[in-house]
Amino acid sequence: MIGRTSFPMKVKKWNLRQRTLAVTILSFTLLAGMIGSGILIGPEKMGVDFLSKYLPPSFTHPFGTDWLGRDMLTRTLKGLTLSFSVGLLASTVSTFIALILSLLCSVNKKLDAVVTWFIDLFLSVPHIVILILISFAAGGGFKGVVIGLALTHWPSLTRLLRAEVLQLKNTDYVAVSKAFGKSRMWIARHHLLPHLVPQLIVGFILLFPHAILHEAAITFLGFGLSSEVPAIGIILSESMRYLATGMWWLAFFPGLALLVMVSIFDLLGRSIRKLIDPFHGQKL
Amino acid sequence: MLEAREVSYRYRNHPWLLQHVNLQIHPGEVVGLYGKSGAGKTTLATILAGLKQPKQGFIQIDGHSYPMEGFHPVQLVWQLPEKVVNPKWRMKKILTEAGPLDSDLLAMLGINKTWLNRYPSELSGGELQRFCLARALGPKTKYLIADEMTTMLDAITQAQIWHTVLELVQQRNIGILAISHDSSLLERVCDRVINFDTLHSV
């Protein structure tokens, strides 16, 4: 106690910006590690080994093995990588759709009403229902899932961007820009887009967990990816058959891994929003 | 000649703000417009600059009616410069939006070259107003509407800026409408001063 009072501990308290930055870097590294290891795992690690089937979690197989003796850790990592690529494609397309539609809102009141109507339409139907319909109509599989996810995840981001665009459109500096004879496209590119970029980045990252969870959900229900690919949804739905016999690790670890990945994405999105939205807006 | 004829304007669900306004400004002439707060001076300014359409009446420049294509010959200098510059742009981009840089004009207005790399939030209101003025005084500008242009500046800066503007008016034969509620300033800089209340009959 005496030492403590005479030599005050030199624990430097981090401020919010430093903490947020640390969280961002940490979650980014974790995600990169997950995806990277998933990509690096070769097909030889995914093989069937009947000598070691139904093994509970151990040091050689941290996530256990399944009914064909496949290592659940490699399968989970592969599944997460697949989910990531599905999420990446779907979120990119969704963000792009949201940007285009929100810029259309600024053209005139009629187009704005049309876009708003579409947003309301898509938001009024349960997400998973349209998702199943679209991915089924698009032929199922990887393509069907990506199309389905891309076409159903734009509405909430579009609504956010639309509000921003309408507000920007009525600013005095846009009026002045028109008086300088600048075209609508020029104004959209130079005045509106720089203000939308932070929203776009954050919206894009926050779409990820949604897309990934929905991908797993429809795959679990049997409308998504085909059953030979190691997707998390497939792993979970197959493990349901073995759950009753006490093989809890088949569902527990892949499900937990999915949850962890989704929450890290959420954390990353929220941290980046903190970093680029209020304080650093003008320099982005 | 910039001419407003029988211009009337009202905001939605509000009584008429401007009614039958008639106004003429000749090239090279400095006209002052004096009026109380909330009388509709700024609304008239935005209508004359082509940013709002009048509900009745029309505006002409040398016989050409509004709306105009391209760079508008009537440019407005706003009361609050902070609101008319994009906060995400550097000053250089803000200036070049209106056309290429004119270093003589920048020197005349007392704009420091080092300010060009700054963001609007890093400049004071008076400094920003100089930029807005420089931007509005492009080579194609024929008329300038100065809506409380120097109200927020100190007396010395006010004098400096008006001195420069009056010099440019003579050089380029620009017509100016100076709007203010500071009648002594208007008496000092204008060729003729109009009272806003006599301009129209509400």
Q: Which residue of A has its CA nearest to B84?
A: A173
pLDDT tier for residue A278 given thresholds of 50, 70 and 90: low
pLDDT tier for residue A283 given thresholds of 50, 70 and 90: very low
User: Are residues A172 and B84, on separate chains, in Cβ contact within 8 Å?
Assistant: yes
Which segment, A4-18, A88-102, A270-284, B76-90, is predicted with the most confidence on average? Answer: A88-102
Find out whether B179 and B147 touch, Cβ atoms under 8 Å. yes
CA–CA min distance A190, chain B (Å): 9
User: Are residues A179 and B50, on separate chains, in Cβ contact within 8 Å?
Assistant: yes
pLDDT tier for residue A152 given thresholds of 50, 70 and 90: very high
Distance CA A121, CA A141 (A): 26
Q: What is the DSSP string of A235-256?
A: HHHHHHHHHTTT-THHHHHHHH
CA–CA min distance B49, chain A (Å): 8
Mutation for testing the B interface, residue in A167, A168, A171, A173 having most B CBs under 10 Å = A173
CA–CA min distance A159, chain B (Å): 23
| Domain A64-278 in CATH 3.40.190.10 | no
Q: Which residue of B has its CA nearest to A191?
A: B86
pLDDT tier for residue A228 given thresholds of 50, 70 and 90: confident
Q: Which residue of B has its CA nearest to A283?
A: B88
Q: Is the dihedral of CA B97, B103, B104, B106 positive or negative?
A: positive
CA–CA min distance A106, chain B (Å): 17
Find out whether A161 and A168 touch, Cβ atoms under 8 Å. no
User: Are residues A282 and B75, on separate chains, in Cβ contact within 8 Å?
Assistant: no
- Per-residue model confidence (pLDDT) at position B152: 79
Residues whose CB is less than 8 angstroms from the CB of residue B105 and which lie 6 or more positions away in sequence, other chains included? B134, B137, B168
pLDDT in tens, chain B (202 residues): 888 888 889 888 888 888 888 888 999 899 999 888 878 888 889 999 988 888 888 888 888 888 878 889 999 998 888 889 998 899 999 999 988 888 888 988 888 889 999 999 889 888 899 999 999 988 888 999 998 888 878 888 888 888 888 888 888 899 999 998 888 888 888 988 988 888 765 4
- Residue from the list A179, A191, A284 with its beta carbon closest to the beta carbon of B51: A179
Distance CA B182, CA B4 (A): 23
Beta B64-65 vs B56-61: how paired, if at all?
Answer: antiparallel
Distance CA A55, CA A62 (A): 10
User: Are residues A179 and B75, on separate chains, in Cβ contact within 8 Å?
Assistant: yes
Domain ranges of chain A: 64-278
Q: Is residue B72 less than 8 Å (CB to CB) from chain A?
A: yes
- Per-residue model confidence (pLDDT) at position A8: 54
Q: What crossing angle do the helices spanning A141-152 and A127-137 adopt, rounded to 10°? A: 140
Residue A60 CA to its chain's centroid (Å): 31
- Per-residue model confidence (pLDDT) at position A162: 94
Residues whose CB is less than 8 angstroms from the CB of residue A231 and which lie 6 or more positions away in sequence, other chains included? A79, A82, A83, A215, A216, A219, A224, A225
Q: Is residue B143 less than 8 Å (CB to CB) from chain A?
A: no
Mutation for testing the A interface, residue in B12, B68, B86, B118 having most A CBs under 10 Å = B86
pLDDT digits (tens, 9 = 90+) for A115-146: 999 999 999 988 889 999 999 899 888 899 99
Distance CA A172, CA B155 (A): 27
Residues whose CB is less than 8 angstroms from the CB of residue A25 and which lie 6 or more positions away in sequence, other chains included? none
Assign residue A42 a region (left: φ > 0; alpha: ψ between -120 and 50; beta: otherwise). Answer: beta
- Per-residue model confidence (pLDDT) at position A190: 92
Q: Is residue A37 less than 8 Å (CB to CB) from chain B?
A: no
Nearest to A101 by CA among A156, A174, A168, A138: A156
CA–CA min distance B70, chain A (Å): 4
ipTM at complex level: 0.86
